[in-house]
Structure 1
Amino acid sequence: MANYRYMMSADDVARELNCSKSHAYKLVKSMNEELASQGYITMAGRIPRAYWAKKMYGYELSVG
């Protein structure tokens, strides 16, 4: 797992969606609130890459 980055920053989200950083931070905050309500520990300004893929594209990433 040398080059795999587990977490995505709001900057990564902004680049992926081609949107402003402020909008990306709002999306990340919303997803972190969802994760927290499910009992997960979250980091401000970052979301797990696998959760991003599931929420935005409807599929799950597997690392292997």
Structure 2
Amino acid sequence: MIKNTLNSKEVAKLLDVSVPTANRYIKRMNDELAADGYFTITGKVPIQLFKEKFPYHDISENTIKQLMEA
């Protein structure tokens, strides 16, 4: 299965921030998507958008697999 989105716990772990802070980042990214006319899922953010907004974080396939196992 291909993972397309990250939830707040995964974003928090990747950014080393609290879950409420991760939720604020996700909300901001989803607000940008909604303003551009895209549908969003509350509490989740597309991996592609996360990579664009946080280019200095490692979001490789291995990292995603580790997040799914945790």
For the aligned pair, the TM-score class normalised by the smaller chain equals: 0.7 to 0.9
Offset of 1:45 from its aligned partner?
Answer: 0.3
CA distance in 2, matches of 1:55, 1:26: 14
In angstroms, what is the RMSD of aligned CA positions? 1.6
**Structure 2: gaps spanning 5 or more residues:** 57-70
Q: Residue 31 of structure 2 corresponds to which residue in structure 1?
A: 33
Residues 1:16 and 2:14 aligned together: yes
Distance between the aligned counterparts of 1:19 and 1:47, measured in 2? Answer: 16
TM-score, L = length of structure 2: 0.76
| Identical pairs, percent | 30
Count of aligned residue pairs for this structure pair: 57
Give 3-state SS (helix, strand or coil) of 1:42's partner.
coil
Where do 4+ consecutive residues of structure 1 move more than 3 Å? none
Alignment partner of 2:9: what SS?
Answer: helix
Deviation at 1:23, TM superposition (A): 0.2
Deviation at 1:15, TM superposition (A): 0.4
Partner SS for 1:14: helix
The secondary structure found in structure 2 opposite 1:57 is coil
2:39 partner letter: I
Q: Which runs of 5+ in 1 are unaligned?
A: 59-64
Residue matched to 2:42: 44
